[in-house]
Amino acid sequence: MLRAALLAVSLLALPSLAVAQNADVIKERKANFKAMGDAAKPTGAMMKGEADFDLAAVKNAIKVFQEKAALQGKLFPDDSKEGEKTEALPAIWENKADFEERFVKLAEAAKAADASITDEDTFGAEWPKVMGNCGSCHKKYRKPKD
Ligand code: HEC
């Protein structure tokens, strides 16, 4: 009887263990992405000609992208596939090496842009090479917006 009860308890416990999710890591990566998005915002307005060129804002975005990209690869452990309204797609965990490599590429592009962008013309030519890293990864690995 006791045995059966214990078995029942352990069986009940199993599924909840299997779906236990790492909420903190999801919040952390979202906060890092949000910081990247916030830093990118003024540069997007500049690209569209809706704001004056501001080298300091570009350099800030470059710095934030480099700092955050270095952290993000490790913030997608197996227990963070669901919860916290994550927009991460399962494809991340099926292509982990490609996914992590994309953060390295983003950091490299940001570093190159730091050297090449000195004025409005070089910004116009070089910035899309950095921002392309965001969009191409979102297309493959982030849930599309409704
Ligand atoms: C290697 C892939 C990858 C790259 C590169 C990448 N992102 Fe993302 N991004 C994601 C994924 C995956 C999510 C969804 C994360 C989640 O919800 O758990 C996301 C979410 C976001 C979010 C929403 C954060 C929130 O509040 O939920 C913003 C904003 C964002 N990214 C901006 C950027 C910007 C700006 C760049 C480029 C500078 C960038 N991302 C580069 C994969 C990437």
In degrees and rounded to multiples of 5, residue 4 shows phi and psi of: -60, -40
Q: State the pLDDT confidence band at 21, using cuts at 50, 70 and 90.
A: confident
The pLDDT value recorded for residue 145 is 81
CATH class of 22-141: mainly alpha
Distance 5 CA to ligand 1 centre (A): 46
Which residue shows structure tokens 């990247």? 36
Q: Quote the pLDDT of residue 92.
A: 98
Contact in structure between 108 and 118 (CB atoms under 8 Å) = no
pLDDT (tens digit, 9 = 90+) per residue, 44-67?
A: 999 999 999 999 999 999 999 999
> How confident is the model over 111-120, as a mean pLDDT?
98
CB-ligand 1 contact for 110 (6 Å cutoff): no
What is the average per-residue pLDDT within 33-47?
A: 98
- Cα gap 13→66, rounded to integer Å: 42
Domain boundaries, the chain: 22-141
Residue 20 clears pLDDT 70, i.e. is over it: no
Angle at alpha carbon of residue 61, lines to 85 and 132, rounded to 5°: 70
Mutate to test the pocket of ligand 1, among 81, 94, 134 (most ligand atoms within 8 A of CB): 134
Stretch 7-20: mean pLDDT, rounded? 54
- Nearest ligand 1 atom, CA 86: 17
